Amino acid sequence: MDMMNIIYAVLVLGGLAALFGIVLAVAAKVFEVEVDERYPQIMECLAGANCGGCGYPGCGGCADAIIAGKAPVTACAPAGAEGAAKIAAIMGMEAPSGERMVAHVICNGGEASVKKYEYRGVEDCLGALKVGAGPLECAYGCLGMGSCVKACQFDAIHINEKGVAEVDPEKCTNCGACRNACPRKIITEVPASRKVHVQCANKDKGPVAMKVCKNSCIGCGMCERNCKFDAIHVVDGVAKIDYDKCKGCKICSKVCPRDAIDPISTPEEKEKFKAVLKAQAEKAKAAAEAAKAAEAAKAE
């Protein structure tokens, strides 16, 4: 009798299991959410970092936005040009063209900047700004607390020996996380192949800028006057480079009296370049005087 009860119990449980299985299978079919076949393909092309640099909730959100036409195929910066090209092919579009961009910190202050006080607190740039508007006299300088470093998932930005955030262009994916984390908004993007960059964001007048940082741009216009390609101009009191015109000759960095344009030249290099400029000026002056004398002789 006991054996029969056991057999009945097993049969009932087996029957219920089969019934529930059928119900679940039918429900799964009825309530199935169709997934665009391009979704998994695009997901494979994305970086998978879920960094949020694209502005969407994770890589899944980015893929959905690309498929819906709400985001460009280049939305995932960490995926790079190769990833964007693959996504474009999946979407039936032409591969995007253009130079790779990387993040760049517009500051060379750090130890050269004047301090209002010694900050001791949470190592966070926004937190530091809430204490007397920050420890720096310069209202545009890098605070050096590393909020951008914490935000970067690619180990591409660090605080250098001067106390200023510095980007490693080889590791940078231009995801935008560091820019979003910087409360002073002094991190921009520049072409990866270009090596000359303005290192100051201070828009104050020259005398004011000089008081707060030894390396600040003072808007003197030396860079603008000496550029042969019309690639740099003083805008709102600070030098700006037009990368479409810049040839990377580095003359602007050599004539800058404040070391506000990267690459920073040594004092010896600056003196040598000044001597070259002086010789060129003297040569031009001599040529002008000779031409003037020739005109005078003709007139006689």
194-285: CATH architecture: 2-Layer Sandwich (3.30)
Q: In this predicted model, which residue has the larger pLDDT, 130 or 285?
A: 130
Position 69 scores a pLDDT of 85
Task: Delimit the domains of the chain by residue range.
Answer: 38-90, 99-192, 194-285
CB 190 within 8 A of CB 181: no
pLDDT at 68: 87
Q: Let me know: does 248 contact 196? Beta carbons within 8 Å.
A: yes
Q: Is the predicted pLDDT of residue 176 greater than 80, yes or no?
A: yes
**Span 212-257, pLDDT tens digits:** 999 999 999 999 999 999 999 999 999 999 999 999 998 999 889 8
Facing residues of 23 across strands? none
Residue, of 267 and 253, whose pLDDT is higher: 253
SS3 104: strand
What's residue 267's pLDDT? 65
Give the helix/strand (H/E) hosting 187.
strand 187-191
Q: What pLDDT, on a 0 to 100 scale, did the predictor assign at position 30? A: 66
Q: Determine the Cα–Cα distance for residues 248 and 245; give it in Å rounded to an integer.
A: 9
76-116 per-position pLDDT tens digit? 888 888 888 899 899 888 877 777 889 999 999 999 999 99
| pLDDT beyond 70 at 299 | yes
* CATH code, residues 99-192: 3.30.70.20
| Contact (Cβ atoms closer than 8 angstroms) between residue 198 and residue 242 | no
Separation between Cα atoms, residue 292 and residue 217, nearest integer Å: 39
Backbone angles phi, psi at 196, to 5 degrees: -110, 125
pLDDT of residue 206 exceeding 80, the answer is yes
The fold of 38-90 is 3-methyladenine DNA Glycosylase II; Chain A, domain 3 (1.10.15)
Do 38-90 and 194-285 come out as alike in CATH topology?
Answer: no
Tokens coding 242 = 């037009």
What's the pLDDT tens digit per position in 111-163?
999 999 999 888 999 999 999 899 999 999 999 999 999 999 889 999 999 99
Task: Tell me which amino acid residue 236 is.
Answer: D
Q: Percentage of the chain surpassing pLDDT 90?
A: 45
User: Which has the higher per-residue pLDDT, 149 or 193?
Assistant: 149
Model pLDDT, residue 223:
94
Residue 49: the pLDDT is 81
Structure tokens at 189: 């993007």
Condensed to tens digits (0 to 9), the pLDDT of residues 4-62 reads 777 777 777 777 788 788 877 777 766 666 668 889 899 999 888 888 778 788 898 89
